[in-house]
C-alpha cells in the first residue's frame, strides 16, 4: 500500500482494485462501491488531518451517539464523464451549502469547504476509472457525517466522522410509479428537521411507504402535518404537477427539502418559457384537476432518478389515472438536464464544474 500526501490529504492507495469484478452493465443502484473512501474526524473542537484510504468497514464504540440519538446527515451528488473522458460535477456548491445547513440544524460541526471539496475532487481523481461515460452512467457520491462520541447521555456528540464514498450507477428506472396521497402520516412537521438531509427523516418514511406498497403503490405523496391538505413531496423526492399547462411545485419550507434538482428544473423550465408557479398545491386542486381533465402530469425530482414520472394517484380510496403524454414536460426537462450534466448541450447556467 503506497502513501502520498497532496494538499494536506494523506492518501493510502489500495494495493488491489475491485473494478474488474464489477458488471457495469447491470449495476444495482447504490450497492457497489469504489476502491477508496475519504475520511476526516472532528475531535477536541477541531477537524483532524483528512485521509483517503481503501474502502473497508470500520469500528465504532457501541455507545457512539449516532446509534442512540441519531446525529447523522448526508448528501447525494453525481459526477459525470463526457465524451472526452473529462469528469464533471453538477452544482457541488449547492450540495456543500445544504450539507452544512443540515449540520447546523442537527447540532453538528460545519465541514470546512477545503476539506469537503478537496477531499471530493481527489477521491474522484483517484477512482476516475470507475466513472463510465455514456448516457445514464454516473458516479453517485455520498458525503455523510455521523456522531462518534461515546456515551449514552442525551447531548450532542463531541466527536464526529465525515466521510465520502462513491458508487458507480447507471440509469435509474423504477418502472411505472403509482402513488398514494398521505391522509394520516407526515414526512415532516413545522419546527422539525424536514429541511435537513438527516438520516432519521428517511427512516420515518419507511413504515407508511411499506403500507402503501402493500396496497399496490410504489410511493407516497406526503401532505402537511397540520391539515393534510397541502401536497409537499413524493417519496424521497420533490414533486411537480402540470395542471392546465402550468408547472406547479410547493415552496421550500421547514418541512420540504431544498432539492438541487428541484431548483434546477425550475430554472430550466423558466428558460424554456414554461409557465412555472411555486406555490402551495392543495389536494383538492389535484383531485379537481384529475376530474375535469386539466391534470396532465405528476413527477418527482431528485439526484438519483433525476425525474420520475407518476402514472396515477389514489386519494380516499379513489384512483385517478393520468393521461399518456408523448411530449411531456417531465421528459423534456429531464433530457435538457441530463444533456447539460453530460456536456452534450451548452451549460448556459454555469452549473457544471470540472474535476
pLDDT on residue 318: 98
The CA angle 28-31-35, to the nearest 5 degrees, is 125
Residue pointed to by grid coordinates 494538499: 7
pLDDT on residue 2: 56
Q: For the segment 84-140, what is each residue's pLDDT rounded down to a tens digit? A: 999 999 999 999 999 999 999 999 999 999 999 999 999 999 999 999 999 899 999
pLDDT on residue 170: 92
pLDDT on residue 3: 53
**3 state SS of 249:** strand
What distance in Å separates the CA atoms of residue 135 and residue 355, rounded to the nearest whole number? 19
Range of weakest confidence among 35-49, 72-86, 143-157, 169-183 = 169-183
- What are the chain's domains? 3-169 (3.30.470.10), 177-341 (3.20.10.10)
pLDDT on residue 200: 94
pLDDT on residue 4: 56
Q: For the segment 135-170, what is each residue's pLDDT rounded down to a tens digit? A: 899 999 999 999 999 999 999 999 999 999 999 999
Tell me the mean pLDDT in the region 173-196: 91
SS3 content of the chain, % helix, strand, coil (to 5): 25, 30, 45
Tell me the mean pLDDT in the region 237-244: 97
What distance in Å separates the CA atoms of residue 347 and residue 226, rounded to the nearest whole number? 41
Q: Is the pLDDT assigned to residue 353 strictly greater than 80?
A: yes
What kind and span of H or E run contains 97? Answer: helix 92-105
pLDDT on residue 174: 67
Q: For the segment 280-312, what is each residue's pLDDT rounded down to a tens digit? A: 999 999 999 999 999 999 999 999 999 999 999
pLDDT on residue 175: 73
Q: Is 354 exposed, middle or buried (0-12, 13-18, 19+ CB in 10 A)?
A: exposed
What distance in Å separates the CA atoms of residue 55 and residue 152, rounded to the nearest whole number? 29
Mean pLDDT of the chain: 95
pLDDT on residue 173: 65
Amino acid at each position: 500500500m503506497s502513501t502520498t500526501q497532496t494538499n494536506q490529504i494523506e492518501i493510502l492507495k489500495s494495493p488491489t482494485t475491485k473494478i474488474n469484478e464489477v458488471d457495469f452493465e447491470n449495476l444495482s443502484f447504490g450497492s457497489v462501491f469504489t476502491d477508496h473512501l475519504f475520511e476526516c474526524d472532528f475531535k477536541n473542537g477541531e477537524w483532524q488531518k483528512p485521509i483517503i484510504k481503501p474502502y473497508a468497514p470500520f469500528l465504532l464504540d457501541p455507545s457512539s451517539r449516532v446509534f442512540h440519538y441519531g446525529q447523522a446527515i448526508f448528501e447525494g451528488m453525481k459526477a459525470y464523464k463526457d465524451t472526452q473522458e473529462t469528469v464533471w460535477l453538477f452544482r457541488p456548491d449547492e450540495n456543500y451549502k445544504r450539507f452544512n445547513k443540515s449540520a447546523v440544524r442537527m447540532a453538528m460541526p460545519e465541514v470546512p469547504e477545503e476539506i469537503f471539496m478537496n477531499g471530493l475532487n481527489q477521491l474522484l481523481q483517484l477512482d476516475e476509472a470507475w466513472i463510465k461515460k455514456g448516457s445514464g452512467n454516473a458516479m453517485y457520491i455520498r458525503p455523510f457525517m455521523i456522531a462518534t462520541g461515546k456515551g449514552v447521555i442525551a447531548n450532542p456528540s463531541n466527536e464526529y466522522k465525515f466521510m465520502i464514498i462513491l458508487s458507480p450507477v447507471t440509469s435509474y428506472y423504477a418502472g411505472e410509479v403509482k402513488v398514494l396521497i398521505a391522509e394520516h402520516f407526515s414526512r415532516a412537521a413545522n419546527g422539525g428537521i424536514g429541511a435537513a438531509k438527516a438520516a432519521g427523516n428517511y427512516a420515518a418514511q419507511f413504515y407508511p411507504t411499506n403500507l402503501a406498497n402493500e396496497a399496490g403503490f410504489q410511493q407516497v405523496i406526503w401532505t402537511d402535518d397540520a391539515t393534510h391538505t397541502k401536497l409537499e413531496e413524493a417519496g424521497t423526492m420533490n414533486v411537480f404537477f402540470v395542471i392546465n399547462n402550468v408547472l406547479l411545485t410547493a415552496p421550500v419550507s421547514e418541512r420540504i427539502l431544498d432539492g438541487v434538482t428541484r431548483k434546477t428544473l425550475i430554472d430550466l423550465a423558466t428558460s424554456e418559457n414554461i409557465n412555472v408557479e411555486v406555490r402551495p398545491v392543495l389536494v383538492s386542486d389535484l383531485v379537481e384537476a384529475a376530474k375535469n381533465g386539466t391534470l396532465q402530469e405528476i413527477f418527482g425530482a431528485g439526484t438519483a432518478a433525476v425525474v420520475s414520472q407518476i402514472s396515477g394517484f389514489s386519494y380516499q380510496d379513489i384512483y385517478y389515472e393520468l393521461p399518456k403524454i408523448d411530449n411531456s414536460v417531465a421528459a423534456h426537462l429531464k433530457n435538457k438536464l441530463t444533456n447539460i450534466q453530460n456536456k452534450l448541450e451548452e451549460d448556459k447556467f454555469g452549473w457544471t464544474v470540472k474535476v
